[in-house]
């Protein structure tokens, strides 16, 4: 091989390395998420159901993680700065494990829907319905385990009840308004993950879900574990849990993840697609 050919190969290799390391453009991120959303829309019902149930069960580790910290920390103003880190546990398991979490779908499936609204409206409605219902089944199972199994020892169980009661005490309007920033932050995770690899993905999820806990924003799936656990312990009624917490938080998360984030994300790349 001549010296010229060697230099050319070296230049090509350097260009490939630069291209690989370069930051993805906004339209490329849009395309990655859109194609991922289209793949999700084609998944069989059984896969969506079991993945959604698993996500609903495992998101309970966000509630438990925060409770574990709070139970061992002193009653001080700075305690929540540390305890809020525990809230990220369930989200890390669910998102990195590629399980079906409803709030992720408020952006993942909306991007392909915005591209083909006539043909994808029913598939999106189908996926949303299946995933949300499956998530609720999972959170109910997790809440029953927390309330009845005895596996959560008294100091931690009491911390779970204290955390859950704060969510249950919110009015429907407060739950809705606080759900909007949570929806935006979850959508932000989805938007940033294509540009993140390895430890970067871990840190993105950790940082954004930490902000949800620290800001006391409401997340419909994690919050459902909390309020349904209170239903099982007899602290609140099922109607209170559904109509004062779950439904308004659902609406807030959808507003944050869909018209606020997903549609704005599309607007910024419309002319580049």
Q: Residue 18: inside a domain, yes or no?
A: no
Q: Residue 5: inside a domain, yes or no?
A: no
> What CATH number corresponds to the domain at position 46?
1.20.1080.10
Q: Residue 3: inside a domain, yes or no?
A: no
| Residue-by-residue pLDDT tens, the chain, 273 positions | 555 656 667 666 655 544 554 567 777 777 788 788 888 888 899 999 999 999 999 999 999 999 999 999 998 889 999 999 999 999 999 999 989 998 887 777 877 777 777 788 898 899 999 999 999 999 999 999 999 999 999 999 999 999 999 999 999 999 999 999 999 999 889 888 887 777 888 999 999 999 999 999 999 999 999 999 999 999 999 999 999 999 999 999 999 888 766 666 666 666 655
Q: Residue 16: inside a domain, yes or no?
A: no
Distance CA 143, CA 131 (A): 18
Q: What is the DSSP string of 118-146?
A: HHHHHHHHHHHHHHHHHHHHHHHHHHHHH
Q: What is the DSSP string of 25-44?
A: PHHHHHHHHHHHHHHHHTS-
Q: Residue 263: inside a domain, yes or no?
A: yes
Distance CA 177, CA 222 (A): 16
Q: Residue 7: inside a domain, yes or no?
A: no
Q: Residue 192 corresponds to which tokens in the numbers above?
A: 């940033």
CA gyration radius, the chain: 21
Q: Is 190 exposed, middle or buried (0-12, 13-18, 19+ CB in 10 A)?
A: buried
Q: How many domains does the chain have?
A: 1
Q: What residue numbers bound the domain in which 219 lies? A: 25-272
Q: Residue 187: inside a domain, yes or no?
A: yes
**C-alpha angle with apex 247: 218 to 102, nearest 5 degrees?**
65
């Amino acid at each position: 091989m001549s010296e010229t050919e060697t230099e050319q190969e070296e230049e090509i290799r350097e260009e490939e390395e630069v291209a690989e390391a370069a930051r993805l453009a906004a339209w490329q991120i849009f395309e990655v998420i859109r194609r991922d959303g289209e793949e999700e829309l084609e998944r069989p019902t059984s896969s969506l159901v079991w993945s959604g149930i698993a996500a609903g069960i495992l998101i309970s580790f966000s509630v438990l993680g925060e409770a574990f910290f709070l139970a061992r920390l002193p009653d001080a103003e700075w305690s929540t700065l540390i305890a809020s880190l525990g809230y990220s546990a369930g989200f890390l398991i669910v998102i990195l494990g590629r399980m079906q979490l409803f709030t992720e779908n408020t952006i993942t499936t909306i991007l392909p829907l915005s591209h083909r609204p006539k043909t994808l409206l029913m598939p999106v409605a189908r996926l949303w319905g299946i995933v949300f219902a499956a998530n609720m089944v999972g959170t109910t199972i997790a809440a029953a385990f927390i309330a009845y199994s005895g596996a959560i020892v008294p100091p931690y169980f009491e911390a779970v009840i204290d955390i859950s009661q704060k969510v249950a005490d919110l009015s429907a309007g407060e739950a809705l308004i606080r759900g909007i920033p949570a929806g935006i932050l979850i959508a932000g995770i989805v938007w940033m993950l294509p540009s993140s690899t390895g430890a970067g993905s871990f840190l993105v999820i950790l940082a954004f879900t930490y902000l949800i806990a620290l800001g006391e924003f409401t997340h419909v799936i994690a919050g459902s574990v909390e309020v349904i656990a209170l239903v099982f312990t007899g602290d609140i009624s099922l109607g209170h849990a559904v109509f004062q917490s779950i439904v308004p938080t659902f609406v807030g998360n959808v507003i944050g993840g869909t018209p606020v984030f997903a549609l704005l994300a599309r607007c910024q790349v419309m002319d580049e697609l």
